[in-house]
């Protein structure tokens, strides 16, 4: 399929806005980029142009790393609110092209529960984006249970995005730390969710761990050992594999045969989604195009499965894009 030669039909569930409001608010607290990188160029006009060039009909926007919390809970509450209102306006302006995950001021539990109510009931956003950890505490820790119980009650879609991990002593090499550490960070969160039985206790949350769930599918042999460990096994009575099969997997920066085959071992094709990480990918448009090409050329998908990954599976989670 030649990109741009057909009417837009793809749904990309993993894109990030970088608005002037967000840059200015973070600059005020000394944050001028994400991780080791300055902010990428982003605008609505450029995003729409890229979408049209790559046959993308709709995208779901999220505030990924570094998020909104930098030690000041009041700052995080205020920033989450104005960003959610900004996201809601983007969606209202182009409801068939844009959807959005709400930001939350975690680790402030009460404020985050209140923000979800506002984001869903008033702003009509499509789900919630959480980072893999907050203030050194990973998702799956019982601390987050009251907030996750609210998401479970609402049958919310939860997108988990990595952040730079709170670790030291990493090897030094001339490559971005996120090359490996971000996918490891997602995997740590998944392991903690499984260890604590969180996915079992809150089965109504539809969870999408970004970037094909990090390296978790690849190290499945090790994680399956949880089923033989007293305490952990009781927290997941249906077993670890049942939890893996309930997750959704986006192909963001992961569309190569080795990774896709690992995901196919744990995921039904109906739970695989298209995503690009635009504009935070190292080479934003090139990486987006290579992701599309990787899905189209992978011999483990048939034509119907490719269509579902590019569009239909996302519509099942985000009905605003339904024709």
Give yes or no for a contact between 278 and 288, defined as CB atoms under 8 angstroms apart. yes
pLDDT at 85 over 50: yes
Burial class of residue 207 (count of CB atoms within 10 Å of its CB; 0-12, 13-18, 19+) = buried
pLDDT at 2 over 60: no
pLDDT of residue 39: 95
pLDDT of residue 179: 80
pLDDT of residue 76: 98
Spell out the domain ranges in the chain: 10-321
pLDDT, tens digit, 9 for 90 and up, residues 140-172: 999 999 999 999 999 999 999 999 887 777 777
The per-residue pLDDT of the chain, averaged, comes to: 94
pLDDT at 59 over 50: yes
Give yes or no for a contact between 127 and 89, defined as CB atoms under 8 angstroms apart. no
pLDDT, tens digit, 9 for 90 and up, residues 194-241: 999 999 999 999 999 999 999 999 999 999 999 999 899 999 999 999
pLDDT of residue 323: 66
Q: What is the CATH code of the structural domain delimited by 10-321?
A: 3.20.20.140
pLDDT, tens digit, 9 for 90 and up, residues 252-280: 999 999 999 999 999 999 999 999 999 99
DSSP 278: B
pLDDT of residue 3: 45
Which residues are within 8 A (CB) of 185 and not within 5 positions of it... i.e. 6 or more apart?
132, 133, 162, 163, 164, 165, 214
pTM listed for this prediction: 0.95
């Amino acid at each position: 399929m030649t990109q741009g030669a057909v009417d837009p039909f793809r749904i990309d569930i993993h894109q990030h806005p970088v608005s002037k409001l967000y840059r200015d608010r973070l600059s005020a607290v000394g944050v001028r980029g994400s991780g080791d990188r300055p902010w990428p160029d982003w605008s609505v006009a450029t995003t729409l142009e890229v979408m049209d060039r790559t046959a993308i009909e709709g995208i779901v926007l999220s505030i990924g790393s570094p998020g909104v919390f930098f030690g000041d809970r009041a700052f995080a509450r205020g920033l989450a609110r104005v960003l959610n209102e900004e996201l809601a306006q983007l969606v209202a302006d182009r409801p068939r092209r844009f959807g959005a995950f709400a930001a939350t001021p975690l680790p402030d539990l009460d404020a985050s529960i209140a923000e979800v109510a506002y984001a869903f009931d008033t702003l009509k956003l499509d789900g919630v984006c959480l980072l893999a950890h907050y203030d050194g505490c990973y998702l799956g820790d019982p601390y987050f249970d009251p907030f996750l119980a609210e998401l479970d009650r609402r049958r919310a879609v939860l997108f988990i995005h990595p952040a730079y991990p709170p670790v030291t002593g990493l090897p030094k090499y001339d490559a971005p730390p996120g090359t490996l550490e971000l996918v490891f960070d997602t995997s740590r969160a998944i392991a903690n969710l499984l260890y604590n039985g969180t996915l079992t206790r809150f089965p109504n949350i539809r969870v999408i761990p970004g970037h094909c769930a990090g390296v978790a599918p690849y190290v499945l042999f090790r994680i399956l050992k949880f089923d033989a460990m007293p305490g952990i096994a009781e927290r997941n009575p249906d077993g670890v594999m049942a939890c893996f099969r309930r997750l959704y997997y986006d192909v963001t920066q992961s569309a190569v045969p080795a990774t896709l085959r690992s995901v196919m071992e744990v995921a039904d094709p109906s739970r695989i989604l298209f995503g690009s990480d635009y504009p935070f990918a190292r080479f934003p448009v090139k990486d987006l195009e290579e992701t599309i090409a990787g899905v189209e050329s992978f011999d483990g998908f048939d034509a119907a499965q490719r269509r579902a990954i590019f569009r239909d599976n996302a519509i099942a989670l985000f009905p605003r894009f339904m024709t």
